[in-house]
Amino acid sequence: MSKLVPPHGSPHLKPLLLDGKELADELGKAAHLKKVPITSRESGDLIMLGIGGFTPLDGFMGHDDWKGCCDEYKLPSKNGLFWPIPITLSAAKPLADSIAIGEEVALWESDQLMGTMKVTEKYKIDKDHECKQVFRTNDPAHPGVKMVMEQAEVNLAGPVRVLSESYFPTQFKGLYQRPAEARKAFEDRGWTTVAALQLRNPMHNSHAYLAWIAIEVCDGVYIHQLVGKLKPGDIPADVRVKAIDALINKYFRKERCIQAGYPLDMRYAGPREALLHAVFRQNYGCSHLIVGRDHAGVGDYYGPFDAQTIFHEIPPDALALKPLPLDWTFYCFECGTMASMKTCPHESKAVIDENGKYQGGARLLLSGTLLRKLMSEGKPVPAEFSKPEVIAILKEYYDSLEQKVEIKLHGHATGAAKV
């Protein structure tokens, strides 16, 4: 019997991905079904339903679950099961009008058949309400808000059968992992406590420090990075994977670390997304989720530790997984090492000139946003910021870009709010 945490809301994983004869039969049937185009976000959600990452969901949410999720983190159709972010699919009104309740449709992302769905409900949502509840803003400049506002007019709900994992198993071979595969890897190593480290950036020294702390208190760390789509200016997955590999291979004990990828697009929902990360990391078998500064945030829409405090606002039995909250981390020139607000007594902010030279002060605050800005502008990166192997890979990537996206710094990236 497994000693890992159980999947969310179920004694076992509930993958909806077909194979063998079932897959062949469904592919044959899908060729004759009405086509419903889906976005990359919806496709990523569908794949997570397929591999059991969204256990125990059986498809895209209906209106009552959408509203219960937005307003109370609850799914009425699942006896009030905790769920933090709506998992929905939308269609243009003319197409939705042509679909009958009970009809089966084929879900296509571009020219790829991804799955089928039996439509049990059609409904419209208040997009403004969803944005305010999930993102805490309806500012169209927020990438998650933009994603919701660009959804088609009508939501379609119903159970799905998943037929493809898209390009992820081939493009990220050896990295992309299903929950059942992760659980087997943990059990094979004899791990019972596993801390997940969420990544959408290459690992700078603060990320590495968080992972090392987690290894001290758990059996191992699961470095779990998003390999779906990001906003413009973020570092693409293939470059990020290469940089993380370089760091892990030299600076981590291999028996205490597993690196893997998952297929979602980033929502940038801050605290709510931290809760979603917790739900599906529990399905992957993780007992803890590392929650550091500005987890899943963007700009200055969230406080630096809102993603930690939200775990105190949900029922204590909502999740079997527990957060591992960690304070601001930085390199301290006085301490001569990585440190945190809880350990370092030196409070002055370090000053680095335009040539990357240290000019005085103690705390050098590190962030993925600041790293991307320095690299995109061709400015030197202080040696204390990240390992040279990582910087070399990122420099090669930025040097290859013909057109660079401007990276704007926010208060949480610079430490303006706290030193």
Q: Is 178 among the residues known to form the active site?
A: no
Task: State the CB neighbour count (10 A cutoff) for residue 240.
Answer: 26
For residue 371, give the CATH number of its domain: 3.40.50.620
- Provide the pairing of β-strand 220-226 with 194-199: parallel
What is the count of structural domains for the chain?
2
Last residue of a domain, one of 106, 131, 166: 166
User: From the candidates 41, 161, 183, 201, which is the catalytic residue?
Assistant: 201
Beta strands in 102-211 (DSSP E): 104-109, 112-118, 121-123, 154-162, 194-199
Least confident of 33-37, 106-110, 234-238: 234-238
Pick the residue with more confidence: 87 or 382? 87
User: From the candidates 161, 200, 272, 281, which is the catalytic residue?
Assistant: 200
In a domain, 15, yes or no: no
Q: Do 255 and 108 share a domain, yes or no?
A: no
Least confident of 16-20, 24-28, 227-231, 392-396: 227-231
Structural domain containing residue 27 = 20-166
Q: Do 122 and 38 share a domain, yes or no?
A: yes
User: What is the tens place of the pLDDT at every residue in 164-215?
Assistant: 999 999 999 999 999 999 999 999 999 999 999 999 888 889 999 999 999 9
Name the nearest CA neighbour of 237 among 224, 253, 222, 250. 224
Q: Is the dihedral of CA 240, 246, 251, 253 positive or negative?
A: positive
Q: Residue 382 — pLDDT band, cuts 50, 70, 90? A: confident
Q: Is 161 among the residues known to form the active site?
A: no
In angstroms, rounded to a whole number, what is the distance separating the alpha carbons of residues 242 and 325? 27
CA 58 to chain centre: 20
Q: Residue 413 — pLDDT band, cuts 50, 70, 90? A: very low
pTM of the model: 0.93
| pLDDT (0 to 100) of residue 232 | 77
